[in-house]
Amino acid sequence: MIVLLLGCEAELNQDTQMLTFDPFEQGEWDVAADDGHFISRHGIEHDVYMWYPTRQDDSIEDEDKIRYGDFVPGGVWDGGLPQCSTHRPVVMFSHGNMGMSFQSFFLMEHLASHGYIVVAPDHVGNTYLDNDESRKPELIFRRPEDISDAFDWLVNESKLKECVDSNGGYAIVGHSFGGYTALALSGAIIDTEATLNHCDQFGGWLCEHVQTWSNDYGSGLYDRSDQRVWAGIPLTPAAYETLIGGLDNISIAQQVWGGGWDDLTGVSDVIRPIYQALTAEKSMAVVEEAGHYSFTNACQIVSTYPDCEEPFLSTEEVHYLVNGFATSFLAEQRGIKGWEDFVLEKEEHILWE
């Protein structure tokens, strides 16, 4: 296994702003997950999952654990009272094309154990249950708004609204099409002319859908960023062709992930070009023996993906790396010290470019 990390909570000691728990391991908190729903600015009803810190007196048993979508067993409490003695930092998650809100719950559960509130909506029209290719032009431009609207719901209407500071903003994590969504929210303006010029020469996954949007609504610059975003973690992001005209507009730190054996969003043709176009603080990790779905819990849902078996690196090992480095990155962006010591212990798994 080789991890290429370019550039590069444990719980926070409130007095010294230092991490005291290993970011690669379970954090201090018990974790609960719950679902809800909200109505977006477009009048669409979205299902949503929330993960949050809690305190439980008893050990968790299988019957206490949540079942995502009523069929995928998770590892945390099914509901429960949030532990909100202080405002919690927020992470929003955007799922992949034909994915689901809970598709990467390994990371959501982990972050919540380190004190984060994590919220993930379904992108209606683009889940494994309701995917509609005719809505792809709409989804390119609506997906970031789904996330912004979900954050508005969190701070204004959800059962966790007292746990968060509405002015504290959020970090955005996304996988594949969700990685595109994370970059758009972080500031990557969509320049349809630049995209279509690139498409004429090289093609791309979303080219025809950007052309449809441009025909219907006009070509130009479309800004779907959210100024409340303070950091981004795109996991195997897709749609370089759609972002090509605006990646240099991002001004907040990004931790980009890729899989060396990913045949959907390849490192050479998608991940690295995205990374190289970023001009803000950035780092990139490439897990050489990981595939596209290694960064999700897909193998627990549909075990027929090639990524689920040898010679691919086990999903447990990939998840361990993502959990630790993502948690460390978020701590760094919050101005917390001490994460460096934990990361240095993992140098044996890393090649620095």
Convert the pLDDT of each residue in 191-204 to its tens digit.
999 999 999 999 99
- What is the arithmetic mean of pLDDT over 74-93? 94
Per-residue confidence at 13, pLDDT binned at 50, 70, 90?
A: very low
Q: Which residues contact 136 (CB under 8 A, 6 or more apart)?
A: 126, 206, 209
Is the pLDDT at 165 greater than 70? The verdict is yes
Query: How does pLDDT run across 95-114, given as a tens digit for each residue?
Result: 999 999 999 999 999 999 99
Asked if the model's pLDDT at residue 349 lies above 60, the reply is no
pLDDT band at 343 (very low <50, low <70, confident <90, very high): confident
Between CA 120 and CA 49 the distance in angstroms is: 5
pLDDT at 14 over 60: no
Residues β-bridged to residue 127: 99
**How many domains is the chain partitioned into structurally?**
1
Question: 3-state DSSP call for residue 195?
Answer: helix
Task: Render pLDDT for 259-293 as a digit per residue (tens, 0 to 9).
Answer: 999 999 999 999 999 999 999 999 999 999 999 99
Residue 352 pLDDT greater than 50, yes or no: no
Q: Taking the CB of residue 196, how many other CB atoms lie within 10 A of it?
A: 17
How high is the pLDDT of residue 345? 64
Residue with the larger pLDDT of the pair 337 and 176: 176
- The pLDDT of residue 7 is above 50: no
Q: What is the pLDDT of residue 8?
A: 39
Find the length of the chain.
353
Kindly give the residue spans of alpha helices, DSSP state H, lying in 203-333: 207-217, 240-243, 272-277, 298-301, 315-333
- Which percentage of the chain shows pLDDT scores above 70? 93
User: Is residue 5's pLDDT more than 80?
Assistant: no
Q: What pTM was computed for the model?
A: 0.94
Under the banding of pLDDT at 50, 70 and 90, the label for residue 253 is very high
Rounded CA separation 164/142 (Å): 25
User: What average pLDDT does this structure show over 112-123?
Assistant: 98
CATH number, domain at 176? 3.40.50.1820
In the numeric block, the tokens 């290429």 are attached to: 4
Measured from the Cβ of residue 58, the count of other Cβ atoms closer than 10 Å reads 8
pLDDT computed for residue 57 by the predictor: 78
Task: Using pLDDT thresholds of 50, 70 and 90, give the confidence band for residue 9.
Answer: very low
Distance, in Å, from the CA atom of 125 to the CA atom of 123, rounded to the nearest integer, reads 6
Query: What pLDDT does residue 347 have?
Result: 53
Q: Is 145 helix (H, G, I), strand (E, B) or coil?
A: helix
Domain that includes residue 31, residue range: 3-351
Position 295 scores a pLDDT of 97
Query: pLDDT per residue over 211-227, tens digit each?
Result: 999 999 999 999 999 99
DSSP string, 281-315: SEEEEEETT--GGGGSSHHHH-TTSGGGSTTSPPH
Mean pLDDT of 321-337: 94
Q: Identify the pLDDT of residue 20.
A: 75
- pLDDT at residue number 302: 83
